Chains A and B, each alone.
Chain A
Amino acid sequence: MMTSVVESWIESPLKRFVEDAEVDLALLMHPSGQVLAQHGFARSMDVMSACALAAGIYATSAELGRMLEGKPFRGIHQVGTERQLFLAEAHSPRGAYIFVTVFGAESSLGLVRLYFDELVVRISEAAPPEGPAPEPALTEHFERDLNRNLAVLFGRA
Chain B
Amino acid sequence: MSLVNYATREITCKIVYYGPGRSGKTTNLHYIYSQVPEDRRGNMVSLATQTDRTLFFDFLPLDLGSISGFTTKFQLYTVPGQVYYQTTRRLVLQGADGVVFVADSQARQREENIESFQDLHANLSEQGVDPRSMPLVVQYNKQDLPKDLILPVSELSDAINFRGVSEYSADALHGPGVFETLRGISEIVLRRLSAGGSSGAASSAVSR
Chain A interface residues toward B at CB < 8 A: 2-8, 11, 15, 30-36, 43-46, 48-49, 52-53, 56, 59-60, 63, 131, 133-140, 142-143, 145-147, 149-150, 152-156
| Least distance between A142 CB and chain B CB atoms (Å) | 5
Q: Which of A133, A135, A145, A150 contacts B183 (CB 8 A)?
A: A150
Question: Which residue of B is nearest A138, CB measured?
Answer: B194
Given contacts A8-B203, A45-B43, A52-B45, contact A142 B67 (CB under 8 A): yes
Is B204 at the interface (CB under 8 A from chain A)? yes
Chain B residues with CB under 8 A of A136: 193-196, 198
On chain B, the residues within 8 Å of A149 by CB distance are: 64-67, 72
A142 to B204, CA, bound (A): 23
Select one of A30, A49, A135 contacting B61, CB under 8 A.
A49
In the assembled complex, the Cα of A46 lies from the Cα of B44 at a distance in Å of 10
Contact A48 B94 (CB under 8 A): no
Q: What are the 10 closest A-B residue pairs judged by CB atoms, nearest first?
A: A32-B95, A45-B42, A138-B194, A149-B65, A8-B205, A48-B61, A59-B91, A145-B67, A136-B196, A138-B68
| Residue of A4, A30, A48 most packed against chain B (CB within 10 A) | A48
Assess the A134–B14 pair: CB atoms within 8 A.
Answer: no
Given contacts A11-B207, A31-B95, contact A156 B179 (CB under 8 A): yes
**Which B residues touch A59, using CB under 8 A?**
91, 94
- Distance to closest chain A CB from B23 (angstroms): 21
CA of A35 to CA of B87 in the docked complex: distance in angstroms? 23
Interface of A is mostly: mixed
| Residues of chain A with a CB closer than 8 A to B196's CB | 133, 135-136
8 A-B pairs in the complex with CB atoms less than 8 angstroms apart: A30-B3, A31-B95, A32-B1, A49-B45, A142-B190, A145-B65, A149-B72, A153-B62
Residues of B at under 8 Å CB distance from A? Answer: 1, 3-7, 11-12, 14, 35-37, 40-43, 45, 47, 56-57, 59, 61-68, 70, 72-73, 75, 77, 87-88, 91-92, 94-96, 179, 182-183, 186-187, 190-191, 193-196, 198, 200-208
Bound form: Cα–Cα A76–B133 in Å: 35
Question: Chain B's interface: helix, strand, loop or mixed, by majority?
Answer: mixed
Known: A49-B43, A138-B68, A150-B64. 13 other contacts (CB 8 A): A5-B206, A5-B207, A11-B205, A11-B207, A33-B94, A45-B63, A52-B77, A56-B47, A134-B202, A136-B193, A136-B195, A146-B187, A155-B35
Please state if A139 and B68 are interface contacts (CB–CB under 8 Å): yes
CB distance from A51 to the nearest CB of B (A): 9
Assess whether B190 is in contact with A150, with CB atoms less than 8 Å apart. Answer: no
